[in-house]
Structure 1
Amino acid sequence: MKKLIDMISIHQTGSDPRAGVLRTCLQWGGLDLPLSYAFGLGCGYGFNYRHPGDREVQATKLPAFHVVGNNLHFVEDFCANLGMGIIYDCASRLEDLRSGILNHLRQNKPVLVSVNYKLYFKVIRERFDDYILQDQYEPDMGEIKLLALSYRPETKEFVFLDGLQDQPVVLEEDLLKKLGKGEDDSAEYQWQSLELPRKFYELTLATRWAIAKTAWKMTASSLATQGLPALLRFITVLKEEGLAKTDLERLLFFSGYAQQEGFYRKSFGEFLYKAAEYLKEETLAEVAAKFMETADRWQLVMFDLTHGRLDKRVLADIYCSEVELSEALFGFGEKWGCL
């Protein structure tokens, strides 16, 4: 019987840490897929924007200004598309968090623990000299999911995988207590256990569902902070207000700055290339190529912003491309009977 600790030998990191830990769970459960495919199965392509003037930003852990180029509900969509169960738990005491994690570890079930991203990033940069994310932009994404592997009772330490680096991370309980609640001690500890099925959903269906759901979120969502409406609003703000330096730093990180991702369009483009080959859909490969081109355009925007200029024609061109791409994916969803 495979043990959770065996995941260390198969773990890989990618541009999105959630895709990294979930891909590891998949391979451990018997389904070996590339990282980009895992990113796509979590409906990774998206757009979410919050402006400082929005009332709802006060209720989130993210900065007043933030923009995310992928899916905020990645874990939930990933599990739904593959037939994996997910159970949510929370507690106000560290003792209950420990008990909850240990209960799942004894059953040999993967469990994800949510911790404060900014504080966690600071801790691991201090501990690992060769840490992969050494660029100057410190992220503030609200939270990160840690995959629990084991517990050392003699030293009161947990062993995790974080999706940012290949090696495991050992965190003592006192540190986990700080990271779990972050800067707000009244907050709750949160964790989610994953129920891996005896047999995952057939990959053809899972791939089609993921593409269709992604397209729906971009084109048909009624939320002004999600999808194409959010993208249009973000571009309007860039044109009319510009960005302060602190906002720019957040933007650069959320765009996948370190990996030259262009709002994660390259990861999703790689997924579409592989999906086109698997589904035998030649025209889907053409859409994938356009995703790569859009990523390059976003990188041009990043370059312009860092040099104090902004070409409005590029933004208009990007928006038209994003509309075209989203509508193309929606068309595939309709063709497959998923929408």
Structure 2
Amino acid sequence: MKIGILGAGQLGRMLALAGYPLDFDFVFLDPATEACAAPLGEHIHAEYSDERALAEFCVSVDVATYEFENVPAHTAEFVASRIPLLPAAKALTAGQDRLSEKQMFDKLGVPVPRYMPVATREALDFAVKATGLPAVLKTRRMGYDGKGQAVLRKPEDLDAAWNRIGGQPLILEAFVPFEREISCISVRGKDGAMAFYNVVENVHRDGILRTATPRADDPMQREAEDYARRIAEHLDYVGVMAFEFFVAGGRLLANEIAPRVHNSGHWTIEGAICSQFENHLRAIAGLPLGSTALRAPCVMVNFIGDAPSNTELAAIPDLHIHHYGKTPKPLRKVGHATLLATSDARLQEQLTLLNMLVAKSES
């Protein structure tokens, strides 16, 4: 089977690495000249609006998917009109607009923070009065890793936030004084069967994910699975989906979905019986899903900007290194490492050493 992937970044790269043992081949369409997944398959170097390139892409593959949720809607529709695109285009568009996403959560009974749409500077004043401060002003489209948003703590913050991201459709969300941020990684097959990985506890800094730790017997597991199942069934979803939540006051509040494999699930490559990447491919290819069971206590640590040397990393027992083939750049994810251990105590010892190396590489 030939699988087409819209986008050729690190997620496409890891999908291909998971797919070759299954005898899958890959075709990527990506406008980037030095797309890091390109060496793992055929790279059609073109813009997502290039219909001639999209047509070439479609006739080259049996099924298509995407590695990031900002693929233009018309691109998804063009591909889906010619070959199977999984997850379906409606799942892609559901997560592209934060307002419609929140409205979907409301419709399906998934709790969310208070929110209001904002189209003008005057509407921002009204929304702040209705929602209260602190609050977070976000672009409704695009924006990731903390981009496209501003935290409003006092009335004096409004003008600066509007000057920075105003003039486009926005949404104001009440600030959530959360105890934890978690994500639920699920996978749904063509037959509707679903499987869930252990809930993952996430730590962000500057809006970028730093560590992701799967939790055995997390008290939020069942509730997170319930909400993820509602969304997946509503969208007739096929593939891996990540659902990010805030834990506040002992309950979950939905943040957002990602209709794709996700950074908070990278630990599954070594830490689960079947990784999120393999399970995504199994799902879109119509194969039975693999086990999502946790192998051992583990944690995933992102390399941001630059990475420690392989010599330093390889000296840590039970560490698995993943470089993405990207040029070091401030705030860019250039790789990650996953630690496995025989106990939680041993995991913390090794994590302390890894964090020291990461801090040195970022300084």
* TM-score normalised by the chain length of structure 1: 0.29
More relative contact order, 1 or 2 (CA 8 Å, 6+ apart)? 1
- Structure having the larger proportion of residues in helix: 1
- Structure having the larger proportion of residues in strand: 2
